[in-house]
Copies of this chain bind each other. A is one copy, B any other.
Amino acid sequence: MFRFTKQTEYAILSLQYIAKNSNRLVSVREISEELEIPFQFTSKILQQLIKSDIVESRQGVKGGYKLVKEAKDILITDIMEIFDPNSLQPNCIDIINGTICKRSGRCNLQKTVFKIKNEVEKVLKDYSIEKSMKD
């Protein structure tokens, strides 16, 4: 499938929202309600974004999230890699399981598949959170 997973898409939407309100901390509750994303799911996604140093949070009353990096420095591909590390890699390689396709080496499709990967990647690398907000 050549589409974003929901996690990836929800992450992008959340980051857009946080970026738009960068003067304050934004709570999960607010993001969840504004964007109609399940609360716990939103929460889990943001926590993963902390681990990747894209956002940071403060707990407690008036807590919430804010960006660590500037919106222009967060690429769509960064988010894809966090939530779906295989997605930018062809089937020949399985990053998650550390396996390679048994046809590798005698496969007449592999070169094409990597060419396509490189060209598609080039397209995607051109989009940041900031750029997506200006579109």
Which residues on A are within 8 Å of B, measured CB to CB? 1-6, 9, 12-13, 16, 35-36, 76, 80, 84, 86-91, 102-103, 107-109, 111-113, 115-116, 119-120, 123-124, 127, 131-133, 135
Contacts and interface: CB of A to CB of B under 8 A. Distances in A.
A111 to B, nearest CB: 4
A124 to B, nearest CB: 7
A13 B112 CA distance: 12
Contacts of A102: 36
A35 B135 contact: no
Nearest to A115: B135
A1 B5 contact: yes
Given A1-B87, A4-B91, A87-B2, A119 B123 contact: yes
Given A103-B36, A115-B135, A12 B109 contact: yes
Given A84-B1, A116-B123, A119-B123, A111 B135 contact: yes
B86 A109 contact: no
A2 B123 CA distance: 13
Contacts of A80: 2
A9 B2 CA distance: 13
A127 B116 contact: yes
Contact of A16 (B1, B109, B119, B124): B109
